[in-house]
Amino acid sequence: MEYLKHRGESLPFIGIGTYRLGDDAHKAAAETRAFKSAIDDFGMTLIDTAELYGYGNSERFIGTVLKDYEREKLFIVDKILPENAKENRYEACCRQSLARLGVNVIDLYLLHWDSSVDLQNMVNQMEALVEKGLIRHWGVSNFDIHDMKALFRCKNGEKCFCNQILYNLRSRGAEYDLIPWCNAHDVAVMAYSPIGHNAAMRKELIDHPLVVETARKEQKTPDSLLLSFVIQSRNIITIFKTADVEHLKHNMQNVFAPISAEDMQALSQQFKAPSCAVPLETI
């Protein structure tokens, strides 16, 4: 594993996404195998979840598996729903998430989306959770550049640790302004859905002849090429979800070898970076 040093933390460049994990009891054994292999065999010690995922199922699943691990070796990211933030339920929701996870502290707590939440109140509430020792850092998700600027106008807004956003070879809008802005303001960027979120979106990418050919040249699989693309600059970390040990191995094949400049250029000709500001895509 390689790590991003950010505000005193060492964050693995590739962590575990958990959307839909824990939803189906019949899949629990396979999901557990994949989850443990991600940590044990690949060092994917950053785990991303949300109270939204299966309305607590993902957190409960993680809580069950994490009993076998030393808590300090893991970095747990969780998210509060905007509707709960709007009702000022920060502490209650955080405590419920902690109980489902079976841990005492969340490493990074994000507002899942929606910048129409009262941002100054969000900062105050998040800072209060830090003071109480319930979370270690806070951040946001799906915030576009104007949302980030509004957040930074709030008192203590600059304490935002991270912005988790949609970013992959097909969705590169954030490269134009948001990612440079976050880099300049010391806000970590965490890319979600790096390999396409669902079967249709993934297929569109991994079956593309250029992706297939470039993966072959770079001795990667199409999926590991997509992950390599996201972390190529080494200033973005990412999370992907799999419930399958074989998918995990396939995705991690040669993933940290940088893509050659020539192949990056060819990919960029086909999957263009934006030449003007575009709204942040979300799922």
Ligand X SMILES: NC(=O)c1ccc[n+]([C@@H]2O[C@H](COP(=O)([O-])OP(=O)(O)OC[C@H]3O[C@@H](n4cnc5c(N)ncnc54)[C@H](OP(=O)(O)O)[C@@H]3O)[C@@H](O)[C@H]2O)c1
List residues binding ligand X (CB under 6 A): 17-19, 48, 112-113, 141-142, 164, 192-198, 202, 223, 239-244, 247, 250-251, 283
Query: Are the CB atoms for 193 and 283 separated by under 8 Å?
Result: yes
In DSSP notation, the chain reads --EEEETTEEEESEEEE-TTTTS-GGGHHHHHHHHHHHHHHH---EEE--TTGGGGHHHHHHHHHHTTS-GGG-EEEEEE-HHHHHTT-HHHHHHHHHHHHT-S-EEEEEE-S-TTS-HHHHHHHHHHHHHTTSEEEEEEES--HHHHHHHHTSTTGGG--EEEEE-BTTB-GGGTTHHHHHHHTT-EEEEE-TT-SSHHHHHHHHTSHHHHHHHHHTT--HHHHHHHHHHTTSSEEEEE--S-HHHHHHHHTTTTSPPPHHHHHHHHHHSPPPSS--PPP--
Least distance CB 50 / ligand X (angstroms):
7
Least distance CB 80 / ligand X (angstroms):
12
Least distance CB 275 / ligand X (angstroms):
25
Least distance CB 132 / ligand X (angstroms):
24
Between 129 and 191, name the residue whose CB sits nearer to ligand X.
191
Between 189 and 195, name the residue whose CB sits nearer to ligand X.
195
Least distance CB 199 / ligand X (angstroms):
6
Between 113 and 229, name the residue whose CB sits nearer to ligand X.
113
Phi, psi dihedrals of residue 17, rounded to the nearest 5°: -90, 150
Least distance CB 192 / ligand X (angstroms):
3
Least distance CB 58 / ligand X (angstroms):
8
The residue of the chain with the least Cβ separation from ligand X equals 17
Between 29 and 276, name the residue whose CB sits nearer to ligand X.
29
Between 74 and 239, name the residue whose CB sits nearer to ligand X.
239
